[in-house]
Structure 1
Amino acid sequence: MAEHGHGHGHGVSAEADRRYLTGALALIVGFMAVEVVIGFLAQSLALISDAGHMLTDAIAIVFALIAMRIAARPPQGGFTYGLKRAEIISAQINGITLLLLSAYFIVEGIRRLIVPSEVEGLYVVVTGLAGIVVNLAATWLLSRANRSSLNVEGAYQHILNDLFAFIATTIAGAVIWLTGWGRADAIAALVVAALMLKAGWGLVRDAGRVFMEAAPVGMNPAEIGARTAALEHVVEVHDLHIWEVTSGYAALSAHVLVTPGADCHAIRLAAERMFHDTYGIGHTTLQVDHTSSEALTIDGADAHCRDPHGPTHHGGATTSAGPLAGHADHEEPGDTAHPPQDPA
């Protein structure tokens, strides 16, 4: 008897308020235009790198706003999940942009360490202090939005890193103004580049996990499989898949074998409750079968289990013929009720 349970609670919090992102965008774009002009007048690489970072901030917010609208469209046609991964594409673009900019400013910063330029320290200090105020306001606006979305988190990380960059730039400007040591500007630019590199790599890595359909961070498939197999009347769990459709929207599917005569509906509900309450997984697809079910056999072969994906998790339940009656050929050496930790 096959049971397919579908829990449709997506586990996604309320959509980020577009007004917060729009307000932050207006602040960033307005100040960026002023900073570019002052950066060239002061011959400050730190200010120009900050302006470049603010440009990526603005692009990140624009992408976030567009991705929100696209992701909100209902599923249709071949897009059975809708276009929710548009937000992950946006986060990936943001991350790659940060990495490219960091590479440029590292090269330029090293060049200016070797051959320092004349920098107007007072301009840098004044502009840096104004930048701190603007970025504090923008960071506060984005912090009130829904940061459970990797898309919004990407925009937030851009703004937060820019705030740190302005602090470094202001310190460098003060050093130049008070001591005349021009290399402080290049050092500040390298600090900005390092912050970009860290934030960019984090976004690319996290978005890549979603694209590669890895289990969400903090969820161990081996642990979840073992806990499912430990449920009453469960004999075996295999073909267990856990992935993210988009950030905050985890999904799970699995094939669960139970003892003959067990209530498949009750076991499915117990498993779904455990997934939801313990791991926050609201979208599940479970195939629940009795171990002696003929539904698994086509032309005398175990068609479903011929090519299982991932490890098999064995429970403590047994049948009259022993564990896994009719499925002994599916057991692989080394399978245990508590498999080793899965790095995914």
Structure 2
Amino acid sequence: MAHDHGAGGHSHDHTAGANARMLGWALALTSTYLVAEVIGGFVFNSLALLSDAAHMLTDVAALVIALIAIRIGQRPPDDKRTFGYRRFEILAAAFNAVLLFGIAIYVFVEAIQRFTDPEPVQSWGMLIVAAIGLVVNLISMRLLTAGKDGSFNVKGAYLEVWADMIGSVGVIVGALAIKFTGWTWIDPIVAVAIGLWVLPRTWLLLRDTTNVLLEGVPSGLRLVEVRAAVSAVPGVAGLNDLHVWSMSNDDVSCTMHVTLAAGADANTVRKAVAGLIDERFGIEHATIQTEGPGEACEESGQLHS
């Protein structure tokens, strides 16, 4: 089966270009609001606003890194990076997750200090700034929705913005509660609640990106199922050295060593196996080595469907 990289490359370039445009718009909106929220946090003395601003800062960092990652990821393979640079997007997503963990720790420490030493909070100012932030986050989320399922990188940025949207809602609720009750300790409670809401989703992103970096089996695939399906192909007598991994979340690769049944044709078996794993498991890039029964590996072929 002939090698075919052209169509996939053009598709990736088109998708990356669309993601870059959406990320650019989201970055412009988020950066503008970040400045306003930081000023509002200090002017109105609200930890909840500053907590939300801290998450907004990670949004800006995430969006900048995501844009850079897309640009670098579009570079073609060369003599030094034979797989290209697409994994840079995974590194960017992992960095964003670690950054969110760091921000959460800061907010928790600051909240503890606020519990022991409460400070006055200007609730109306909190409310106005948070309401503006909610609108900005909703627009940014809408921009990033289309690309979040096709890229860990965009998904990381989407989760950052999504977390801030939840944060804005929390700040609005907190501001109203403080306004009508006068209980300023609600402010650090909202800040902690925002952190606790975000952390589980951040952990999932970090887990998925780490799995890619460790070249683990991609999410949604089970190696035992791939092994059973390939072993059932006519002409396959044995299977070993099976590896399935991904360079990014939409580029699954596979290598395997197939022992042929007596009388089986190597080319026919390789084509059948490559077609099966592409159609059933979405594995587009497969390197399949074959050997006759009781022989050392005598023939190998790299098949790309």
- Return the TM-score normalized by structure 1: 0.81
> Does the 8 Å contact 2:46/2:187 carry over to 1?
yes
> Does the 8 Å contact 2:87/2:247 carry over to 1?
yes
Structure 1 match to 2:103: 101
Q: Which amino acid aligns with 2:179?
A: W
Structure 1 match to 2:44: 42
User: Which of the residues 144, 147, 171 maps onto 1:145?
Assistant: 147
**C-alpha offsets along residues 9-38 of structure 1, whole Å, 9 cap, x if unaligned?**
869763243221111101101011011111
Distance 1:117 1:287, change over 3 A: same
Distance 1:50 1:241, change over 3 A: same
Post-superposition shift, 1:188? 0.8
> Does the 8 Å contact 1:5/1:284 carry over to 2?
no
**C-alpha offsets along residues 185-209 of structure 1, whole Å, 9 cap, x if unaligned?**
1111001211332232222211110
Structure 2 match to 1:319: none
Q: Which amino acid aligns with 1:287?
A: Q
Q: Which amino acid aligns with 2:132?
A: A
Distance in 2 between the 1:236 and 1:25 partners? 52
Structure 2 match to 1:23: 25
Q: Which amino acid aligns with 1:49?
A: S
Larger helix proportion, structure 1 or 2?
Answer: 2
Post-superposition shift, 1:6? 6.3
Distance in 2 between the 1:95 and 1:28 partners? 18
Post-superposition shift, 1:295? 4.1
Q: Which amino acid aligns with 2:106?
A: Y
Distance in 1 between the 2:79 and 2:272 partners? 33
> Does the 8 Å contact 2:290/2:297 carry over to 1?
no
Distance 1:39 1:291, change over 3 A: same
SS of 1:231's equivalent? coil
Distance 1:93 1:261, change over 3 A: same
**C-alpha offsets along residues 234-293 of structure 1, whole Å, 9 cap, x if unaligned?**
110000000111121110000001112211111111111111111111011000221133
Matches within 5 A, 1:27-106: 27-106=29-108
> Does the 8 Å contact 1:63/1:90 carry over to 2?
yes
Q: Which amino acid aligns with 1:182?
A: T
Distance in 2 between the 1:6 and 1:289 partners? 22
Structure 2 match to 1:271: 273
Distance in 2 between the 1:10 and 1:221 partners? 24
Structure 2 match to 1:326: none
State which drifts further: 198-207 or 59-68.
198-207
> Does the 8 Å contact 1:116/1:182 carry over to 2?
yes
1:157 equivalent in alignment to 2:163:
no
> Does the 8 Å contact 2:289/2:297 carry over to 1?
no
**C-alpha offsets along residues 97-150 of structure 1, whole Å, 9 cap, x if unaligned?**
000001111111122223221111111111111111110011111113353110
Structure 2 match to 1:113: 115
Distance in 2 between the 1:146 and 1:186 partners? 31
Distance in 2 between the 1:134 and 1:121 partners? 20
Distance 1:217 1:295, change over 3 A: closer
Q: Which amino acid aligns with 1:246?
A: S
Structure 2 match to 1:299: none
Distance in 2 between the 1:111 and 1:72 partners? 46
**C-alpha offsets along residues 213-234 of structure 1, whole Å, 9 cap, x if unaligned?**
1000111111111111111121
Q: Which amino acid aligns with 2:237?
A: V
Larger relative contact order (CA 8 Å, sep ≥ 6): 1
Distance 1:270 1:199, change over 3 A: same
Distance in 1 between the 2:190 and 2:223 partners? 43
> Does the 8 Å contact 1:216/1:243 carry over to 2?
yes
Aligned identity (percent) is 35
Structure 2 match to 1:208: 210
Structure 2 match to 1:234: 236
> Does the 8 Å contact 1:6/1:284 carry over to 2?
no
User: Which of the residues 199, 202, 206 maps onto 2:201?
Assistant: 199
Q: Which amino acid aligns with 2:77?
A: P
> Does the 8 Å contact 1:215/1:242 carry over to 2?
yes
SS of 1:250's equivalent? strand
Post-superposition shift, 1:180? 0.5
Structure 2 match to 1:221: 223
Distance in 1 between the 2:96 and 2:148 partners? 17
Distance in 1 between the 2:19 and 2:180 partners? 44
Distance in 2 between the 1:272 and 1:84 partners? 23
SS of 1:144's equivalent? helix
